[in-house]
Structure 1
Amino acid sequence: MPVISKLLIAAFLTCLSLAAYGEKLRIVTEPWAPYVYDDNGSMRGLDYETTVIVFQRLGVEVQWQFLPWKRCLAMLDQGHADGALDIFHSHERDALLLYPAEPLSAVEFVLFYANQRAHPAETLDDLRGLTVGTSPGYLYGEAFSGSTAFTREPAPSHEANFGKLMLGRVDMVVTDRRVGQHLIKELGLEGKVSQAPWVVSRQQQFLAVRRGAGMDLLVQRFAAELKRFKQEPAYAALSAKYGGSQVQTGTVSASGYTVEQQESSAQ
């Protein structure tokens, strides 16, 4: 039997096994607009909607749950979740998780500051003596995470980080560029928050699943279908819908995307 036929049969049996027990693939994630978020009771976002479409094409039913990111990681470790949406690849998790060859999206971690206390950082050294708001469980790269030049202060949510920024409790906030733009708009911070020019790190986001019977084949099928979908006009429309354009550094105007939220690299 050809290898491709064996892979398809094995993947089909995996999905069939889930259905036979009335089970769904349990996926956890943290709200991370515009990639995944709750919009008045409806889940939306570029990566969420992309994943839903891919799993529908594969015939896999999914049960979704929003949790703080550290709780998502604990659920994976404890076996209470089958996978996580928008997780960064970490070699430390290779023994636990399987990552598709095709990423869902790419994030760019940048810094935001309040215009009243401007810190237009261009290098890591420019953070010396400052306090930077972070998100628990997120990986921002070795240089940033290992530096002793500044203080990292976590907050329970991305919104809380920006609230602390406006109150002067932190000097800067680190988060994804597109997430930051989204939050600035949602929180009404146009003209009050700016983006520093320095890019802290770039990361790819994945839909990763726990290792288990048949999961490696499911991951292969997911990657192949995701790659196909990304070539379609429907994906281009989704990307444009959720802020494919970039905003200039400096003060964000009301006419552009504005600023906000998230983690990750653990993410």
Structure 2
Amino acid sequence: MFTSQPPLKTWTLPAILLLLTLFGAAAPPASAAGPRTVPLLIGDQLDEQGKPRPLNGARLQLIDALQRELNVVFEVHMYPWVRAERYALDGAGLIFGLPKTDERLRTLRYSEPASHRKLWLVTRSDATFKFNTLDDLRGKTLGIVRGYSYGEEFDRARAMQLFRTDEDISSRGTRLTRLMLKRVDAVLLFQPSAQTPREIETDLAAFMAPRLRAIGAAANAGFSVLPKPLDTDTSQYFAIARAKDDGIIDRINAALPRIQQRPPN
């Protein structure tokens, strides 16, 4: 895993070939080197105990398909978003899922959209409210992932204290439990673009059923997904420090249309 210490020296293929030549060994053919390893930084997903959860199926399928298209092996490193972003800005590798901002665009080069989601507001079923614009969130307390940006307009409204945020670890179980305990008025959740609010409610009810039994009488309501998602850029991109882009973003951009045209497994 990456740390704040300088990375250990990595021997490049030309350096290895030079050493083999110096010691009289025959150099292997270039194809013997195999796929190149590329560090890939992703924001972590945790359970209620703060332990990492594995990547979900959609992300795994995308990463696996891209590995095959690019003939690389992604070495996945999962960190809290603040740390993952810092490592990406320092040039430690590709990062996936970091939203665009004007500041990040000055330092990072982004790919074309690799996947699409929608950002929904989830409330208790007995405490819904009308939502059309961010102004409708005035005075509310929202459960969000610590260190994550939900778009520049949302970040500006938060800085102006239009609403309050309850920032927690990247565990939807923890945040939804806090919603049931009335610690927040709504929780922000990303879901696949094709899902409807009713389908999301069904999924959340099944996911939270064992957790709701544990909190007893506090869970005397269900989950409601407000009909309108937040109007923000919810595409997911790959990005890399501009000084470290050796052409991999162009290769990703060329591969994405081929991957996206394939039917889902």
Equivalent positions of 1:7-26 (< 5 A) are 24-26=37-39
* Equivalent of 2:108 in 97, 106, 118: 97
Q: Which amino acid aligns with 2:239?
A: A
Structure 1 position 177, deviation (Å) = 3.5
Residues 187 and 17 of structure 1: is their aligned pair in 2 closer, same or farther, counting only changes over 3 Å? farther
Q: Report what 2:189 is aligned to.
A: 175
Q: Report what 2:250 is aligned to.
A: 220
Q: Report what 2:231 is aligned to.
A: 201
Q: Report what 2:60 is aligned to.
A: 48
**Which structure would you say has the larger Rg?**
2
Of stretches 24-33 and 103-112 in structure 1, the one that deviates more from structure 2 is: 24-33
* Equivalent of 2:93 in 70, 82, 100: 82
Equivalent positions of 1:78-157 (< 5 A) are 78-79=90-91, 81-100=92-111, 102-147=112-157, 148-157=161-170
Secondary structure of residue in 2 paired with 1:24: strand
Q: Which amino acid aligns with 1:118?
A: T
CA contact (8 A) 1:120 1:195 kept: no
Q: Report what 1:68 is aligned to.
A: 80
Separation in 2 of the partners of 1:184 and 1:69? 27
- Runs of at least 5 residues in structure 1 that lack an aligned partner in the other structure: 1-14, 239-267
Secondary structure of residue in 1 paired with 2:226: strand
Structure 1 position 25, deviation (Å) = 1.1
Instruction: Please give the per-residue CA displacement for 1:10-45, whole angstroms capped at 9, x wherever unaligned.
Output: xxxxx977997x972111112469xxxx9976x442
CA contact (8 A) 2:43 2:80 kept: yes
Secondary structure of residue in 1 paired with 2:98: strand
Instruction: Please give the per-residue CA displacement for 1:183-241, whole angstroms capped at 9, x wherever unaligned.
Output: 5542237971111123222321111122345x2421111111111121122xxx24xxx
Q: Which amino acid aligns with 1:155?
A: D
TM-score by length of 2: 0.68
Separation in 2 of the partners of 1:16 and 1:53? 25
Structure 1 position 141, deviation (Å) = 3.0
Residues 17 and 230 of structure 1: is their aligned pair in 2 closer, same or farther, counting only changes over 3 Å? farther
Separation in 2 of the partners of 1:222 and 1:142? 25
Instruction: Please give the per-residue CA displacement for 1:138-186, whole angstroms capped at 9, x wherever unaligned.
Output: 2223433222332122111233221211111001111223399355542
Q: Which runs of 4+ in 1 moved over 4 A?
A: 15-20, 38-41
Q: Which amino acid aligns with 1:177?
A: Q
Q: Which amino acid aligns with 1:89?
A: K
CA contact (8 A) 2:99 2:151 kept: no
Of stretches 125-134 and 178-187 in structure 1, the one that deviates more from structure 2 is: 178-187
CA contact (8 A) 2:80 2:147 kept: no
TM-score by length of 1: 0.67
Percent identical among aligned pairs is 27
Structure 1 position 127, deviation (Å) = 1.8
Structure 1 position 124, deviation (Å) = 2.5
Separation in 2 of the partners of 1:198 and 1:25? 38
- Aligned-pair Cα RMSD in Å: 3.4
CA contact (8 A) 1:119 1:172 kept: no
